Structure 1
């Protein structure tokens, strides 16, 4: 399905007055909610524009701007509370259950919703999230290489800094693709200086994403989970997904070689195929698969 930003753009006001902007496409009973990462200039559209139309052929797709990003309300970092925003958004637009798809921070949000509101989540799909606990962004005691670049973009959202961001977020992006993507992200970030200021002011003790699920919560997740990660991710190492697949009982990990932090952009066709097949054909009954045949 061919879609544009303008024709799919929507917004809704939550009971507390927060505005959540989103892009909506497709129809039907199966809802898929896409949740972006934490980078400056990130939005539902910028993180998922090659995926929204493709998935809308089979699902009712919603790509959110979380409060503090894009066209959604500004919010101090201490008040992000994004997992609850997702649940409130679902209530506001009439979604009972959805497949949650989250990249990086969005993956953390999706994991927390699946753990704390299992009745709301039919399927859990992540790309490059942390794996819970207080050291989710730890790289031997400090920020990863990718997160250091991400912070430079918050402090100076110039196209030059965003070129460096695109370079480190991806495995090998050609200049003709990287340049317009960097310009788009830079323009998004510069349009809302208040979002950048709130992130930086809340980052004295590291990235202000303090709503992540605990290890105990992650282990309680009952939704079927598809955990996608780039082997060459320099923002959140793929070992986090190996930890998640150990913790979540009904899960499978999918590791992509020559792929960085944005699997949904770098390998869009493969990603779309994986998500479509997983949501349509994985029931999450909790039953063990039958053994069809045994090899010798």
Structure 2
């Protein structure tokens, strides 16, 4: 695998693209760099992929680490996820086994952060460090806010059901702060990515109406996580309120928080340079 030299070209999607077969799925991922393994887990929005979430992060971090960015089952070019949400943890375990990786640091945005925390609950011996971005605290009795679904989460779900370019424009708008990502080409690419795999969208809607099968979140169980954890959040996140990371900070003993002002749900993209420096320092 190729590692870029500092201050040169960015790695491309095509040259880092890989596919692997595990007992449960065909999994698509991106890989670059050498050294200690770091696994990026993307969020749950329609049309989301590992590359769309983390394309600004792979090149800097591949200079010092073996970077793996997984299209989780149900997204991107990986197989659909027909079962309940617990299948993500099985997919991560199978993925690591297939690559012969015993221990990994996990970096997860939103749903990816939930999966990272849950994987550490179930397989603590396989996790080195944890980084989350815009991740919810599922010990709360309500989903993501005391009032229930946030505005951002409502737009995420609408994108799975109402599949029009206008809905996806609104989705991008609530995901980020300001107008930086309100680009017609970017929005069209996100919409096209979702439409390429409508089977993923259909399966997500079906899972949303089924009981959630995943580790139970309690304050005691979250507090038992011993891994070094970095909790990153945008203060202006309309999908998962910043208070979620502050609650996780209070529970996870060996944790610290990094809050970006004027930043939404995509901290790894909106504040890419600062994010990359902070994560590289934390992992080292």
* Length-normalised TM-score, structure 2: 0.92
Aligned partner of residue 167 in structure 2, secondary structure: helix
Q: CA deviation at 1:13?
A: 1.0
Unaligned segments of structure 2, at least 5 residues: 5-9
Aligned partner of residue 160 in structure 1, secondary structure: helix
Conserved 8 A contact 1:77-1:201: no
Q: Distance in 2 between matches of 1:168 and 1:27?
A: 36
Q: Distance in 1 between matches of 2:28 and 2:175?
A: 24
Q: Aligned to 2:44, which of 38, 43, 66? A: 38
Q: Distance in 2 between matches of 1:234 and 1:68?
A: 24
Q: Distance in 1 between matches of 2:117 and 2:39?
A: 13
Conserved 8 A contact 2:29-2:68: yes
2:14 is aligned with 1:14: no
Corresponding residue number in structure 1 for 2:94: 88
Q: Distance in 1 between matches of 2:258 and 2:252?
A: 14
Q: Distance in 1 between matches of 2:216 and 2:276?
A: 26
Corresponding residue number in structure 2 for 1:262: 266
Conserved 8 A contact 1:24-1:62: yes
Corresponding residue number in structure 1 for 2:229: 225
Q: Cα RMSD (Å) of the superposition?
A: 1.7
Conserved 8 A contact 1:101-1:107: yes
Q: CA deviation at 1:116?
A: 1.5
Q: Distance in 2 between matches of 1:165 and 1:210?
A: 27
Q: Aligned to 1:137, which of 137, 143, 168? A: 143
Q: CA deviation at 1:53?
A: 1.1
Corresponding residue number in structure 1 for 2:209: 204
Corresponding residue number in structure 1 for 2:31: 24
1:267-288 CA-partner distances (Å, limit 9, x unpaired): 00000001100000xxxxxxxx
2:194 is aligned with 1:189: yes
Q: Distance in 2 between matches of 1:102 and 1:171?
A: 20
Q: Distance in 2 between matches of 1:260 and 1:271?
A: 13
Q: Distance in 1 between matches of 2:263 and 2:188?
A: 22
Q: CA deviation at 1:203?
A: 2.0
Conserved 8 A contact 2:177-2:263: yes
User: For residues 136 and 277 of structure 1, do their structure 2 counterparts lie closer, same or farther at Cα, with a shift above 3 Å needed?
Assistant: farther
Q: CA deviation at 1:132?
A: 2.1
Aligned partner of residue 148 in structure 1, secondary structure: helix
Q: CA deviation at 1:155?
A: 1.3
Q: Distance in 2 between matches of 1:260 and 1:35?
A: 18
Aligned partner of residue 137 in structure 1, secondary structure: coil
* Length-normalised TM-score, structure 1: 0.88
Unaligned segments of structure 1, at least 5 residues: 281-296
Conserved 8 A contact 2:144-2:244: no
Conserved 8 A contact 2:236-2:263: yes
2:10 is aligned with 1:5: no
Aligned partner of residue 77 in structure 2, secondary structure: coil
Conserved 8 A contact 2:134-2:245: yes
Q: Distance in 1 between matches of 2:280 and 2:45?
A: 26
